[in-house]
């Protein structure tokens, strides 16, 4: 078992390596075969994997019909923030950890030609894939930015909505990500994020498995901690809506089986049904 690095940059590097592999796999096969299984079960696993309890069936056929196949294949999220967020024509949207660009492209359509959608990601092959998908979709009101969500490369008060799909759990410094989201939002702006959340404490051993962290499980914020960090960043109207709840077997199937095998029976019972996909809403006053 690889341990989660204690150094923030080393953790980002491990996450980057994982998602670069996922993007390269889609870039390498999607154009020739039209299908790929992405990077296997330990990512926030691919939309192409219809059996994955976390990533399957997040988007409607109408939404998928409006975007390039490769954008759908690279979908590694755990929700559909663009469906749950209110996005109005003319608004500016920022997607934290935009991956292959699926939510950025869907947002761009929702905000229309007078609006704009930014995608921010730290992984070069993901940015390449996202830009390729943007060109294929023929969408002009989009820009993909390279950077880290802990230091967003946009000015203060510059966007109306911050979305994100299964990324904040991957960060080593979630408090900093939430402060940055608050900084770039204009007053009255909305935080509208899909993420994996745990309700209650996670056994410490769980937090240490890098496979499980990169798979969006081990880094999940505890629900009350998520609320507290949002409030500490300055957000109001905080709401955490559960969209899916997972059994231990489902969490094991999504890539955390080694970690789960190492738990005691009492620890297993404590986490069974406590992992959820949630839609996290908040507002900057």
Contact between 212 and ligand SAM (CB under 6 A)?
no
Contact between 171 and ligand SAM (CB under 6 A)?
yes
Quick check: 145 and 118 in contact, CB under 8 A? yes
Stretch touching ligand SAM by CB under 6 A, among 93-101, 154-162, 179-187, 239-247: 93-101
Contact between 52 and ligand SAM (CB under 6 A)?
no
User: Between 99 and 189, whose beta carbon lies closer to ligand SAM?
Assistant: 99
In degrees and rounded to multiples of 5, residue 30 shows phi and psi of -65, -35
* CA angle (252, 253, 256) in 5-degree steps: 40
Q: Roughly what angle, to the nearest 10 degrees, separates helices 174-184 and 223-233? A: 40
State which of residues 123, 133, 160, 277 lies at the interface with ligand SAM (CB under 6 A): 123
Contact between 15 and ligand SAM (CB under 6 A)?
yes
Nearest to 169 by CA among 126, 207, 127: 207
User: Between 78 and 271, whose beta carbon lies closer to ligand SAM?
Assistant: 78
Find the binding residues for ligand SAM in span 99-118 (CB under 6 A): 99-100, 102-103
Contact between 197 and ligand SAM (CB under 6 A)?
no
Contact between 278 and ligand SAM (CB under 6 A)?
no
Q: How far is the CB of 213 from ligand SAM (least distance, A)?
A: 11
Q: How far is the CB of 164 from ligand SAM (least distance, A)?
A: 7
State which of residues 27, 137, 159, 167 lies at the interface with ligand SAM (CB under 6 A): 167
Contact between 122 and ligand SAM (CB under 6 A)?
yes
Contact between 97 and ligand SAM (CB under 6 A)?
yes
Residue/partner pairs of 3-11 with CB below 8 Å, 24 or more apart: 3/208, 3/209, 3/210, 4/207, 4/208, 4/209, 4/210, 4/213, 4/218, 4/219, 5/210, 8/150, 8/172, 8/173, 11/172, 11/213
- HSE at residue 21, side-chain half, CA atoms within 13 A, is 15
**60 CB burial (10 A radius; 0-12, 13-18, 19+):** exposed
Stretch touching ligand SAM by CB under 6 A, among 83-91, 159-167, 238-246, 268-276: 159-167
The C-alpha atoms of residue 38 and residue 48 are separated, in whole angstroms, by 8
The C-alpha atoms of residue 232 and residue 221 are separated, in whole angstroms, by 15
Q: How far is the CB of 93 from ligand SAM (least distance, A)?
A: 13
Residues that bind ligand SAM (CB under 6 A): 12, 15-16, 19, 44, 75-77, 97-100, 102-103, 121-123, 126, 148-150, 165-167, 170-171, 216
């Amino acid at each position: 078992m690889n341990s989660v690095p204690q150094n923030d940059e080393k953790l980002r590097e491990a996450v980057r390596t994982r998602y670069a592999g996922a993007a390269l796999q889609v870039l390498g096969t999607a154009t020739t075969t039209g299908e790929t299984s992405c990077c296997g079960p330990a990512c926030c696993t691919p939309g192409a994997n219809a059996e994955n309890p976390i990533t399957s069936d997040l988007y409607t056929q109408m939404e998928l019909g409006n975007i390039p196949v490769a954008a759908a294949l690279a979908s590694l999220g755990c929700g559909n923030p663009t469906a749950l967020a209110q996005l109005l024509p003319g608004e500016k949207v920022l997607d934290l950890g935009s991956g292959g660009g699926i939510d950025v492209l869907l947002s761009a359509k929702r905000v229309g030609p007078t609006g704009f959608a930014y995608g921010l990601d730290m992984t070069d092959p993901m940015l390449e894939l996202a830009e390729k998908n943007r060109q294929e979709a023929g969408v002009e009101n989009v820009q993909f930015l390279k950077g880290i969500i802990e230091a967003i490369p946009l000015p203060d008060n510059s966007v109306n909505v911050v979305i994100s799909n299964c990324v904040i759990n991957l960060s080593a410094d979630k408090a900093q990500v939430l402060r940055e989201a608050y900084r770039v939002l204009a007053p009255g702006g909305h935080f509208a994020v899909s993420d994996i959340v745990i309700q209650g404490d996670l056994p410490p051993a769980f937090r240490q498995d890098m496979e499980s962290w990169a798979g969006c499980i081990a880094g999940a914020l505890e629900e009350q901690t998520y609320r507290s960090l949002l409030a500490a960043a300055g957000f109001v109207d905080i709401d955490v809506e559960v969209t899916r709840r997972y059994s231990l077997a489902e969490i094991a199937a999504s890539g955390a089986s080694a970690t789960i095998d190492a738990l005691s029976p009492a620890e297993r019972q404590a986490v069974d049904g406590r992992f959820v996909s949630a839609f996290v809403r908040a507002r900057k006053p």
